[in-house]
Amino acid sequence: MRRAHDAGHPVPTRMPALVLAALVLAALILAACGGAPPPAAIAPTPSPSPTPTLNPDEVAAAAALAAFGELATRDDLSFHLAQVASASASGSTLMDVSYELDVSDGDFAGTARAGGTTIQLVYVDGITWAKSSGKPWKKSAAMTPDSVADILAPWKYLGPIEDLEFVARDPANPDRLEYRSTSDIPYQTADMERQGMQGTIDSLSLFLAPDGTPIEFRLHAIAAYTSGALAERKVDIQTAVDISRFGEPTTIKPPKK
């Protein structure tokens, strides 16, 4: 008998048959045990966080605030403005001013009262006329754009819309939605700038109609002179603004002489 490698020719071994037998045996064992092993368990997908549910008042308040934000950017509005402002320091009154003005498409006319003096005002096409009691009308010094904006857009001092938080619907008047500011607001009117004052609004309440129409706002501010003999003197400012007849145009003309 010849050896397996006689004459340099390899002799086939029985390995393939043995491997096949092993595979067949493994298949039989798996079948006997119920088949292939079960797939790995899949982790459940976490449920999304529930969306906060807004009550009807909050839905109405969000819509009104968004509408007001759009109105506040316009410069062609018409309304009646009644404003009262006072400033005091160390218990002494520094200023006590009130306005009653009709505003229409960039012009205005009405009455201003300050320090016991009443002045009638008309502002048309960038020209200001003034008249005090018993005196004729006369052209007044030109108002700066910032001074005009303080009258035409008093809500420019209310701060970012996103910082206004809904408080509640007025129980006595469902058409009044109250908001308040959630952060301090830099405050400097044109008149404050002329006097060298800067301030911060630390309390603000705004009332809107459901369609976004502004009704009134109230603010409290602390200000200080930035230079001069009164530097660092603290000034307490209270301002109340009432708005009515919103969207009702008024014809404003130069006064008759």
User: Domains in the chain, please, with CATH?
Assistant: 74-244 (2.50.20)
Residues 82-106, mean pLDDT to the nearest whole number: 91
Transcribe 121-155 into DSSP letters. Answer: EEEETTEEEEEETTS--EEPPPPPHHHHHHHH-GG
Give residue 42's pLDDT. Answer: 64
Mean per-residue pLDDT, 21-47: 50
| pLDDT bracket for residue 22 (50, 70, 90) | very low
What mean pLDDT value characterizes the chain?
83
Pick the residue with more confidence: 37 or 18? 37
Which tens digits make up the pLDDT trace of 84-94?
999 998 888 88
- Helix (H/G/I), strand (E/B), else coil: 51: coil
- Model confidence at 41, pLDDT cuts 50, 70, 90, reads low
Rounded-to-integer distance, Cα 2 and Cα 22, Å: 30
For 164, how many CA atoms within 13 A lie in the half-sphere containing its CB?
25
Q: Are strands 92-104 and 78-89 parallel, antiparallel or unpaired?
A: antiparallel
Mean pLDDT value across residues 10-26? 40
Q: Which amino acid is present at 96?
A: D
In the structure, what pLDDT confidence band is assigned to residue 195 with cuts at 50, 70 and 90? confident
> In the structure, what pLDDT confidence band is assigned to residue 215 with cuts at 50, 70 and 90?
very high
Q: What digits encode the pLDDT tens for the residues 124-139? A: 999 999 998 878 999 9
For 56, which DSSP code? H
Tell me the C-alpha distance between 48 and 51, whole Å.
9
What does the pLDDT read at residue 59?
94
- The pLDDT, as a whole number, for residue 10 is 45
**For residues 63-89, average pLDDT:** 93
pLDDT band at 40 (very low <50, low <70, confident <90, very high): low
- The residue among 102 and 55 whose pLDDT is bigger is 102
What's the confidence (pLDDT) of residue 29? 38
In tens, the pLDDT along 154-182 reads 898 999 999 999 999 999 999 999 999 99
Q: 35 versus 199: which is more confidently predicted?
A: 199
